[in-house]
Amino acid sequence: MLLRHLRKIRIIVSLLIFGFLLLFFMNVHGRIIDPVAEFLLRLQFFPSVLRFSAIAFAVSSLGFLLILLLTFLFGRVYCSSICPLGTLQDIFIALARRFKPKKKRRFVYTSNRKFILRYSILAATLLFWFFGSLFLLNLLDPYSNFGKISVTLFQPLFTQGVNGLSGLLERLDLFFITPLLKQSLPGDVVAVSVGILGVIMTLSIWRGRLFCNSLCPVGSVLGLVSTRSLYRVAFREAACTLCGKCEKVCKAECIDSKKKTVDMSRCVSCFNCFDSCSNNGLYYENAFSGKKKAITLNTTDNLRNEKRTFLLTLAGGMMSIPLLKKLAKAQVEPGKAGMVPTGTGLPVTPPGSMSHDHFTGKCIACYLCVGACPTNVIIPSFFDYGLEGFMQPKLDYHKSFCNFDCTRCTEVCPTGAITRLDRDTKHITQIGIAKFMYESCVVTVDGTDCGACSEHCPTKAVTMVPYNGLWLPEVEPELCIGCGACEFACPTEPYKAIYVESNALHKQALPLSDDHGPRDHDKDEFPF
Amino acid sequence: MDRRDFLRKSVLYGAVAGLGASALGTFTPALAGLRPHITKGNFDLVAVRGSNLVAMFDRAMQEMGGMSQWVKPGQTVVVKPNIGWDVVPDRAANTNPDLVGAVVRHCLQAGASRVTVFDHTCDNWQRSYENSGIEKAARDAGARVVPGNFERNYRDISIPGAVRLTEAKVHEQILDNDVFINVPVLKHHSSTRVTIAMKNLMGIVWDRRYWHRNDLNQCIADFCLFRKPDLNIVDAMLVMTQNGPRGTSTADLVRKNSLMVSSDIVAIDAASALIFGEEPANVGHLAIAEELNIGSLDLSKLNIQRVYM
């Protein structure tokens, strides 16, 4: 019977999806991986919602509607198959089962009442969002957390592994494995990722999909839909022998085998129960089949309670959030001129992100751009954007700079926080402006030539002008695009003598001179 | 000189050079800089003017007496082009890939057991290797292309007699191969005025910032006290005369249609500077190089072969 195979199908599908996304986040690319992973990114719920709000009504931003429809038809299939963090939890659950004593392997039904908290969290998340801060969403969204964990923890391990292997082979004079450039990730961000992974791991090993049914905002939204879904898990009264096996394998802890009820708001459609029942005592009931008895726990009371809490929290939160926002804003005011040596103002946002407001309002902090950036110039921030943009990525010119011809981050961003730029548009997109610090420069302080800044400048916004028999940098702001090549190349310490000041609103730089080709040389003899 | 004469001469010069090299034995890199000024080949410098870079290089090596003057059968060779930037060959910010391919082929034909190509790039290394066309050209010609942007491939060395750059980390390929061939492209440079053969050696060390911070021109000259390339080949076909060293468009280029080959790194830089339109003595690191006796800027004393094709 098909129902009994559903679990196996779900496991295969979810592992495939997890694998594709993990490889994509590890920056492993290929002709099959790329299109599949890009399609899977479109199906991620909140990234798709954010994309919808950024690039409204584009086909690429309608994934969330598909997920809602899927949930309305078959329950929270997203949670069991499409969500990469869901599969990661399943992997933990499966691994833990191998080490747990038999008695502790089973799950036990828990009352729905305990989960009123769940909707308060969703309400708070949406409230923050409504008032312009993705703080809670970026902390709780499952896709975002999968990304954070992949890029800040798995990817460095992957890099280390590849480089270790290529290093060994190099000693044998073999160079066919290309080493990878190492990320320099801030410790605080890595610590948060470790914390998130720790929480996810603990919750899943302890209580199955508890995260999905308490903290996860996608789980909560889809939980509201799945209580009304067309097909739902239900008991076949006559076939059920009250053996309780289904309850023991239910990692959502939503089956009450004694009362023969299933709490569909928490069911993640993993189909473990179908597989566990030797009597076919459970089935996928069609809501319109007519024989709708008190078999599925429709939890009307509980739901009413939840909705009430949800609305109350929404209303209550309205009062306090603007205050929070104000407090957060105060932290990101740029430093006064001359008071700080360099570069402690606003962080630089990736090209294509249009403005700080657009970027911080749309970025879900999944770090796909961080992992995909070939020069590793995009790194996660901590509180650089204030509470509002907690952990969202920024460009850091201390370890690298933005490659002139590269548009990779604009291609991968699933939320539309970084909008797509073609190469020519990127060439004139001004994300910041270089500022020269006369009093810190090698040329003025040591009296020797340097020019590393101008050397690296792709637009020649930084040129060298005569200065006491030497050459001194000069910035033409109109030509500068803020790529940070000058800041990166500048050799002065501890503060750079040239640095990029962020544009809160991205602007347009002057275009480069036309590529009208080389001039011909007039002399034919060698000058020596 | 007819063909027979040429062949006789090249065999003779080759034998002399070979004997000379074996008599002196193998140099340790640290001593290489201190060895007396030996110019291999029929001429101190060969300059070729023409329209086909690869044919020009073939001709230049023919005039010099062949690559076998520098590469003996079984020796390993490292070729260091300029692959600094993520730009296409038309922009001439990197060495012409066809020239790199030709150099590799000449080395293999001379019996090199292995030719390695690398550069410590300024832009992202993989993009630069790929978009410069050099990775493909070198591989197609039979070389292996290795990364230069990882610190683990660099080893500490010291430079006796250096004024500012007394220590550096040098890429292992430079230290471990028998023959070192430098293949720069002639370009304008924002602070050293020109970048040619000496400046190209910044791509074989790990910490370039140190050079910039500690008198750039002095450091460029100092490094030649450690190791001079055995052979220098300067690509001066399309010469970036402004907005160097990266350039902003093809409008920065002038067709100078030239190629130079020499064992003398200072002489070839002086000749190239003149082609660029800069007085060699006005180029900071060239003036210092002459002072440090690394080479001479006086081209009148050299045996130069000029070829117009």
Is B190 in Cβ contact with A454 (below 8 Å)?
yes
pLDDT of amino acid A251: 93
**pLDDT tens readout for residues B258-285:** 999 999 999 999 999 999 999 999 999 9
In the stretch 70-109 of chain B, residues with CB closer than 8 A to chain A read: 86-87, 92
Which residue spans within A179-258 are E strands per DSSP? 231-235, 255-256
Consecutive H or E run containing B180: strand B179-183
Residues of B in contact with A167 (CB under 8 A): 152
**Rounded Cα–Cα distance for residues B152 and A515 (Å):** 39
Is B150 in Cβ contact with A513 (below 8 Å)?
no
Locate A511 and state its tokens: 């275009």
Q: Which of A175, A442, A459 sits opposite B146 (nearest CB)?
A: A175
Using alpha carbons only, give the angle A194, A196, A200 rounded to the nearest 5 degrees: 115
**Rounded Cα–Cα distance for residues A408 and A474 (Å):** 30
Peptide bond into A494 cis (omega under 30): yes
Start-to-end CA span in chain B (Å) = 16
**Rounded Cα–Cα distance for residues A235 and B238 (Å):** 80
Cβ-contact A165, A189 below 8 angstroms: no
Q: Which of B192, B222, B306 is nearest to A464 (CA)?
A: B192
Domains assigned to chain A: 2-286 (no CATH), 356-508 (3.30.70.20)
Q: Which of B189, B216, B255 sits opposite A521 (nearest CB)?
A: B255
3-state secondary structure of A57: coil
CB-based contact, B282 to chain A, within 8 Å: no
The string of DSSP letters for B199-264 reads HHGGGGBS-HHHHHHS-HHHHHHHHTTT---SEEEEEEEEEE-SSTTT-SSGGGEEEEEEEEEES-
Read off the pTM.
0.87
**Rounded Cα–Cα distance for residues B105 and B103 (Å):** 5
As a whole number of angstroms, the longest Cα–Cα distance in chain B is 54
Mean residue pLDDT across chain B: 90
**Rounded Cα–Cα distance for residues A145 and A356 (Å):** 22
Is A471 in Cβ contact with B191 (below 8 Å)?
yes
Locate B195 and state its tokens: 């970048």
**Rounded Cα–Cα distance for residues A129 and B110 (Å):** 69
Locate B141 and state its tokens: 């010609």
Q: Residue A243 to residues A257, A258, A273, A276, A316: CA-CA distances in angstroms?
A: 8, 9, 12, 10, 45
**Rounded Cα–Cα distance for residues A21 and A155 (Å):** 13
Q: What is the pLDDT along chain A (528 residues), one digit of tens a residue?
A: 678 889 999 999 999 999 999 999 998 988 999 999 999 999 999 999 999 888 766 777 889 999 999 999 999 999 999 999 999 999 999 999 888 887 777 888 887 666 678 889 999 999 999 888 899 999 999 999 999 999 999 999 999 999 999 999 998 888 889 999 988 899 999 999 999 999 999 999 999 999 999 999 999 999 999 988 998 898 988 889 899 999 999 999 999 999 999 999 999 999 999 989 888 888 888 877 655 443 444 444 555 555 666 666 665 555 555 555 544 443 433 322 223 366 557 899 999 999 999 999 999 999 999 999 999 999 999 989 988 889 999 999 999 999 999 999 999 999 999 999 999 999 999 999 999 999 889 999 889 999 999 999 999 999 999 999 999 999 999 999 999 999 999 999 888 999 999 999 999 999 987 778 899 876 778 999
β-strands B114-117, B144-145: how paired?
Answer: parallel
CB-based contact, B246 to chain A, within 8 Å: yes
Instruction: Provide the 8-state DSSP code for A265.
Output: T
The partner residues of B304 in beta bridges, in order of sequence, read B45
Residues of B in contact with A526 (CB under 8 A): 47, 49, 258, 271, 274-275, 306
CB-based contact, B147 to chain A, within 8 Å: yes
B289 torsion bin: left (phi>0), alpha (psi -120 to 50), beta (else) = alpha
Q: Residue A311 to residues A133, A182, A214, A330: CA-CA distances in angstroms?
A: 19, 47, 17, 30
CB atoms within 10 A of CB B58: 15
CA atoms B174, B177, B180, B185: torsion sign: negative
Domains assigned to chain B: 3-308 (3.40.50.11440)
Task: Give the minimum alpha-carbon distance from B110 to chain A in angstroms, rounded to a whole number.
Answer: 22
Angle between helices A45-54 and A63-74 (to 10 degrees): 140
